[in-house]
């Protein structure tokens, strides 16, 4: 497939925003049972704003992929059958809940809840946060299933697609949370940094599993099935027209195998190895190292997402193999 950078930025940006919110909620949950120091409301307010900035930036990026942005609302009409429509619906729900989560902290909103008077503010924010977490996981599933449900693209048609979207986004969010905590809540740096390392290494295992799986795929589609002729000796001598077409531009990237292998090693190092190496000393409270780890990992995620799309082999490329 020919990767569209608008979709690459959409998925990486919203993944980081979702991951950061999960980190904020996890930290508050631990603080509720006194496993971590409780933070001032401003910590969650600013964190929610940063999360929303990433989500809004991803949403803006998605519009560059539309031929007619004014018709974008129609994408939500097929929610019964389309994972893309479900993503379009769930994304603003996630944004709304994160905004409400931050707003409840900002306003110190604390009515009596279920007759409980002890620290009702914490109960309200946790309830909103719980709804936000459920919606966030739903968004990860929707985004991953947009590609995971396409059975004829075998590189995508696996549960690992959804798992990797979830783990990579969450890892990025927790790395960002550790850098954010280094500026505003140093007592949480080791907590966020430790979880960032655990999630990043888990993501390394699942992404490696998908790479191994894809390298062993035996394509079900052949040149014979592509054109509907069962003869054993078929070779394409001509594409049928003099220049390129929408098909040859949109469904194949045109890069060499050497370039693909290079990108694979680039993202393996920048997404997994370097961030972990920087996180270990950075957990002592070095904000510069933690911020560098996040930036490098995010750049690596862009490369990883490019590779994810480019590695997918659309069956139509068999028909246009002289060009592709």
User: How do residues 107-157 score in pLDDT, each as one tens digit?
Assistant: 876 544 444 444 545 778 889 999 999 999 999 999 999 999 988 888 999
Asked, for residue 251, whether it belongs to a domain, the answer is yes
Least confident of 192-201, 221-230, 293-302: 221-230
Number of domains in the chain: 1
pLDDT band at 170 (very low <50, low <70, confident <90, very high): very high
CB atoms < 10 A from the CB of 13, how many?
A: 25
* Angle between helices 189-215 and 274-282 in degrees, nearest 10: 170
The tokens of 61 are what? 């990026």
Strand partners for 113? 116
Tell me, yes or no, if the pTM score tops 0.75.
yes
Cα 265 from Cα 46, distance rounded (Å): 35
Tens-place pLDDT, residues 247-276: 777 777 778 889 889 999 999 999 999 999
pLDDT score, position 233: 79
Q: Which residue has the higher pLDDT, 179 or 1?
A: 179
Among 26, 174, 46, smallest CA distance to 105 is for 46
Distance between CA atoms of 196 and 178, rounded to whole angstroms? 8
Q: Examine residue 324 and state whether it is found in any structural domain, yes or no.
A: no
Contact assessment for residue 313 and residue 321, using Cβ atoms and an 8 Å cutoff: no
Question: What is the distance between the alpha carbons of residues 247 and 259, in angstroms, rounded to a whole number?
Answer: 22
CA atoms lying within 13 Å on the CB side of residue 164: 24
DSSP secondary-structure letter at 251? S
Label residue 255 exposed, middle or buried (CB < 10 Å: 0-12, 13-18, 19+): middle
CATH number for the domain that contains residue 284: 1.20.1630
Is 232 contained in some domain?
yes
- Enclosing domain of residue 264: 5-319
Domain presence at residue 126: yes
In this prediction, residue 313 carries a pLDDT of: 81
Pair 20, 78: CB distance under 8 Å:
no
How buried is 21 (Cβ within 10 angstroms: 0-12 exposed, 13-18 middle, 19+ buried)? buried
């Amino acid at each position: 497939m020919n990767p569209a950078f608008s979709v690459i930025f959409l998925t990486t940006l919203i993944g980081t925003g979702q991951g950061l919110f999960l980190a904020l909620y996890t930290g508050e949950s631990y603080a509720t049972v006194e496993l971590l120091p409780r933070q001032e409301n401003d910590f969650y307010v600013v964190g929610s704003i940063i999360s929303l900035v990433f989500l809004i930036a991803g949403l803006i990026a998605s519009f560059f992929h539309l031929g007619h942005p004014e018709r974008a609302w129609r994408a939500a009409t097929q929610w019964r059958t389309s994972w893309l429509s479900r993503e379009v619906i769930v994304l603003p729900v996630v944004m709304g809940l994160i905004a409400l989560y931050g707003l409840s902290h900002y306003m110190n909103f604390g009515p009596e809840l279920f007759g409980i008077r002890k620290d009702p503010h914490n109960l309200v924010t946790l309830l909103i946060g719980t709804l936000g977490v459920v919606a966030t996981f739903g968004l990860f599933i929707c985004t991953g299933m947009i590609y995971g449900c396409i059975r004829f693209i075998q590189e995508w048609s696996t549960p690992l697609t959804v798992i990797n979207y979830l783990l990579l986004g969450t890892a990025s969010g927790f790395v960002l949370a550790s850098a954010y905590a280094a500026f505003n809540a140093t007592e949480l740096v080791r907590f966020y940094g430790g979880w960032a390392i655990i999630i990043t290494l888990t993501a390394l295992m699942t992404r490696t599993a998908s790479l191994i799986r894809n390298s062993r795929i035996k394509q079900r589609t052949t040149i014979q099935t592509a054109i509907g002729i069962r003869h054993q000796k078929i070779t394409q001598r001509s594409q049928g027209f003099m220049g390129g077409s929408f098909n040859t531009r949109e469904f194949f990237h045109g890069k060499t195998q050497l370039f693909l292998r290079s990108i694979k090693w680039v993202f393996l190092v920048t997404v997994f190895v370097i961030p972990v190496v920087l996180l270990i000393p950075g957990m002592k409270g070095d904000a510069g190292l933690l911020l560098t780890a996040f930036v490098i990992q995010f750049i690596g995620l862009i490369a990883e997402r490019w590779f994810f799309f480019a590695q997918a082999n659309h069956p139509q490329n068999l028909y246009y193999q002289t060009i592709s």
